[in-house]
Amino acid sequence: MNPLFTKKAPLLKRRDIFLCLALVAIAAVLFLVFAPRGTGVATVQLNGSTLATVDLSKVQSAYEIPVGGAYPLTVLVEPGAISVKEASCPDKICVRTGKISSPGQTIVCLPDKLIITIAGQNKQADGITG
């Protein structure tokens, strides 16, 4: 007979269930502590040096970061997103890239030597060609 269904001495007693729940709770705490984080931490780099590091998930209201270099530009930080609002570079590719918000995304202004990255791995692919 399967001991799970014996009435006299059940395999799982009440305190065992509590123990299981406790283990699940510990696992959940471990997960919260060690789970990969950093989604939404943007780094603004000019010519190799870091100008700003912003946790986009903690941005309450929008603000601008004026950036110098060969072609000065304005970075716009918003709750959950970052973009180049306006730029004095000739190609304006940085402005047209638009807002980025997910890990692995980048905005680059080659003329000004500006790189904005959002930390973390792109889940869809390891790299992008084109």
Provide the token pair at 97.
């890239």
Site string for another protein, 70-109 (x = CB under 8 A): --------------------xx-x--xxx-x-x--xxxx-
**Tokens standing for residue 19:** 């123990």
Do residues 59 and 78 lie in contact, with contact meaning Cβ atoms separated by under 8 Å? yes
Site for another protein (CB under 8 A): how many residues? Answer: 40
CB of 47 vs another protein, minimal distance in Å: 8
Report in angstroms how near the CB of residue 32 gets to another protein at its nearest.
Answer: 13
**Other CB atoms closer than 10 Å to residue 119's CB: what's the count?**
15
Task: Answer for the pair 15, 23: CB distance below 8 angstroms, yes or no.
Answer: no
Examine residue 37 and tell whether it contacts another protein (CB under 8 A).
Answer: no
Per CB under 8 A, does 15 bind another protein? no
Binding part of the chain for another protein, among 13-21, 55-63, 72-80 by CB under 8 A, reads: 13-21
DSSP letters along 22-57, please?
Answer: HHHHHHHHHHHHHS---TTEEEEEETTEEEEEEEGG
Exposed / middle / buried, residue 39 (Cβ in 10 Å: 0-12, 13-18, 19+): middle
Rule CB under 8 A: is residue 51 a binding residue for another protein? Answer: no
- Binding residues for another protein, rule: CB under 8 A, are 3, 8-9, 11-12, 16, 19-20, 23, 27, 30, 34, 36, 45, 47-48, 90-91, 93, 96-98, 100, 102, 105-108, 110, 113, 115, 117, 121, 124-130
